[in-house]
């Protein structure tokens, strides 16, 4: 097999496209098939830096890990990073090329002058580069598993679609539509999604995959039979609800602000105490996956917070990355969280700032790029002055901290001028306040354990890090679980035929079709 392919679409955002794509990739690679993930256009604040210095969505980096290949910009050629409800930074082939309004990107007028480098700032102009990336992957890999975005039946966006049926039709990809049955209405979603597509698009819809099912599958089967009668399309599997996967998110934070991070199961502590971590849920929060490694530690409880009183019992407060540093700073002040952080620092209670959170903890910010707010005072907890540069720093640094080797990745416009304190990665430390631009540093096991020992000592907790927690091994276990879900609950023979042979012939048209 060479150049086989499949598009995993969804009835809605968050239907499970990312994890199903990852699961199929892991199942295929376990069969000895060389596979790569692909998503033509992604909208996410959770991103990653490849080894060649390209920024892509973290979901595609996770899927590449599932496929046991190195992630590249080819796997996510267009990344949109929201900066507000109406505009996003456009990252093309791993590099930022401008800031555009939604109208300017999807069609119509709008967009700042840097975005004009996007051939007028129109999404449809990116179709050929996206298709070229897909074809390059298909020429290199046995199979490419593509992920759609949102729903393929977003009829207002079909004309300029470069990620769902537009790419499927151009590349003649069979499409499997995923629906989240846990939210209800999955039969209507499957039928309606199909019925709102043009005949040429419907020819590619091979069938459906039910996700997050709880209960007795035999009770579902009559509905699946009726769906087949109505659409002429079969269901390729019913995936059970799987708890505690903790796989990288794409569109946003799925849990409530005061819930535990994702569905993480907190193991009993090794020492006598647990360690409580509060993460400030700042606006436009990016790469909140940084705290996943903390949540994986036995005895560490991680929660997201938005009120000052929720910091009182926290042993560590994390101020995470954000696409809006100045906006996050104002939010912290409005909610009293800024004053609470200043009090913590004065009391010697631990605070960690990562990327935008690091910038917030500094003395001064000069921003004519992201917010265009000009000079803004930071919280003054670290002797750092930040100036926003037009160019973005994208790097995969390696260093040492607390006597341990550390790997990370950097994604930021802010340039930090560190004027004191103890060196800490690329940032500094003053007392129990740490700051760094490095995302992913806590995934380095030895460093994470050393850092948690420092936090426990400063917090006065008898917490002991587990000596054998391997975040990398836990992630591999999670990806294997996704592969198991596909292998055990999907018709893998039928999926493989789709990947190898393309869309089935003679699929019936479901009226009314696209308007």
Q: Strand 95-101 and strand 87-92: pairing? A: antiparallel
pLDDT at residue number 106:
56
Starting at the edge strand found earlier in the chain, the sheet holding 300-305 runs 300-305, 275-280, 316-319, 351-354, 433-436, 427-430, 422-424
Residue 263's pLDDT is what? 44
Q: In what order do the strands lie in the sheet with 410-418?
A: 374-377, 364-367, 384-395, 410-418
Beta-carbon contacts of residue 376 (< 8 Å; ≥ 6 apart): 326, 329, 364, 365, 366, 367
25 is catalytic: no
The residues near 143 (Cβ < 8 Å, ≥ 6 apart) are 1, 3, 4, 5, 6, 28, 33, 34, 35, 36, 499
| Tokens matching residue 298 | 């036995």
pLDDT for 242 equals 85
| Cα 444 to Cα 293: distance, rounded to the nearest angstrom | 9
pLDDT of residue 115: 39
Q: Indicate if 428 belongs to the active site.
A: no
Q: What is the model's pLDDT at position 86?
A: 74
Distance of CA 87 to the CA centre of its chain: 19
In tens, the pLDDT along 222-277 reads 999 999 999 999 999 999 998 766 565 554 444 333 333 444 455 688 889 999 99
**What was the pLDDT predicted at 247?**
61
Strands (E), 214-252: 234-240
Residue numbers in the chain where pLDDT is lower than 50: 108-121, 251-264
DSSP state of 269: P
In sequence order, the 6+-apart residues with CB closer than 8 A to the CB of 426 are: 397, 399, 410, 416, 418, 436, 437, 438
3-state SS assignment for residue 173: coil
pLDDT of residue 120: 39
Q: What is the pTM of this model?
A: 0.90
Contact criterion met (CB below 8 Å) for 498 and 205: no
Catalytic residue among 355, 413, 428, 437: 355
Q: How many CB atoms lie within 10 A of CB 30?
A: 14
With the CA atoms of 54, 59, 65 and 70 taken in that order, what torsion angle do they form, in degrees rounded to the nearest 10? Answer: -20
Kindly report, residue by residue over 76-127, the tens digit of the pLDDT: 999 999 887 778 899 999 999 888 775 666 554 444 433 344 443 457 789 9
pLDDT in tens, 383-408: 999 999 999 999 999 999 999 999 99
Residue 151 contacts residue 11 (beta carbons within 8 Å): yes
Alpha helices in 141-250 (DSSP H): 165-171, 186-195, 199-202, 221-231
Q: Find the length of the chain.
A: 515
User: Token digits for 63?
Assistant: 């899927």
Q: Which residues of 423-459 are buried (b: 16+ CB within 10 A; e: fewer)?
A: ebbbbbbbbbbbbbbbbbbbbbbebbbbbbeebbebb
- The pLDDT assigned to 383 comes to 98
Average pLDDT, the chain: 91
CA-based torsion, 47, 23, 15, 215: positive or negative: negative
């Amino acid at each position: 097999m060479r150049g086989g392919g499949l598009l995993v679409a969804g009835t809605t955002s968050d239907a499970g496209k990312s994890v199903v794509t990852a699961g199929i990739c892991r199942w295929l690679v376990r069969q000895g098939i060389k596979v790569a993930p692909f998503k033509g256009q992604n909208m996410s604040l959770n991103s990653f830096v490849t080894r060649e210095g390209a920024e892509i969505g973290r979901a595609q980096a996770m899927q590449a890990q599932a496929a046991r290949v190195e992630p590249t910009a080819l796997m996510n050629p267009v990344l949109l990073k929201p900066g507000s409800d109406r505009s996003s930074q456009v990252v093309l082939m791993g590099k930022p090329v401008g800031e555009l309004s939604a109208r300017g990107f999807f069609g119509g007028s709008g967009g700042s002058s840097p975005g004009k480098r996007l051939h007028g700032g129109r999404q449809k102009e990116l179709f050929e580069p996206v298709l070229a990336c897909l074809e390059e992957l298909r020429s290199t890999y046995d199979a490419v598993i593509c992920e759609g975005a949102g729903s393929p039946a977003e009829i207002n966006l079909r004309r300029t679609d470069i990620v769902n049926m537009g790419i499927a039709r151009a590349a003649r990809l069979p499409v499997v539509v995923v629906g989240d049955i846990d939210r209800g209405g999955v039969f209507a979603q499957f039928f309606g999604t199909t019925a709102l597509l043009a005949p040429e698009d419907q020819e590619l819809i091979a069938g459906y995959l039910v996700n997050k099912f709880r209960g007795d599958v035999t009770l579902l089967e009559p509905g699946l039979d009726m769906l087949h009668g109505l659409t002429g399309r079969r269901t390729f599997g019913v995936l059970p609800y799987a708890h505690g996967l903790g796989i990288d998110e794409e569109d946003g934070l799925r849990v409530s602000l005061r819930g535990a991070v994702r569905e993480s199961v907190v193991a009993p502590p090794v020492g006598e105490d647990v360690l409580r971590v509060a993460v400030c849920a700042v606006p436009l929060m990016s790469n909140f996956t940084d705290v996943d490694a903390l949540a994986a530690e036995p005895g560490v409880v991680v929660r997201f917070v938005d009120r000052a009183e929720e910091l009182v019992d926290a042993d560590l407060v994390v101020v995470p990355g954000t696409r809006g540093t100045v906006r996050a700073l104002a939010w912290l002040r409005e909610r009293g969280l800024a004053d609470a952080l200043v009090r913590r620092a004065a009391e010697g209670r631990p605070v960690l700032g990562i990327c935008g959170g690091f910038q917030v903890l500094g003395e001064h910010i000069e921003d004519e790029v992201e917010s265009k707010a000009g000079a803004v005072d930071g919280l003054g907890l670290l002797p750092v002055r930040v100036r926003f540069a037009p160019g973005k720093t994208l790097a995969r640094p390696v260093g040492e901290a607390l006597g341990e080797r550390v790997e990370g990745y950097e994604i930021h416009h802010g340039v930090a001028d560190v004027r004191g304190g103890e060196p800490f990665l690329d940032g500094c430390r003053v007392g129990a306040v740490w700051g760094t631009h490095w995302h992913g540093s806590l995934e380095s096991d030895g460093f994470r354990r050393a850092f948690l020992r420092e936090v426990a000592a400063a917090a006065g907790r008898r917490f002991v890090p587990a000596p054998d927690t391997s975040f990398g091994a836990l992630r591999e276990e999670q990806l294997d679980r996704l592969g198991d879900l596909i292998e055990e609950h999907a018709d893998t023979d039928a999926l493989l035929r789709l990947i190898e042979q393309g869309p089935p012939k003679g699929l019936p048209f479901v009226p009314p079709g696209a308007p």
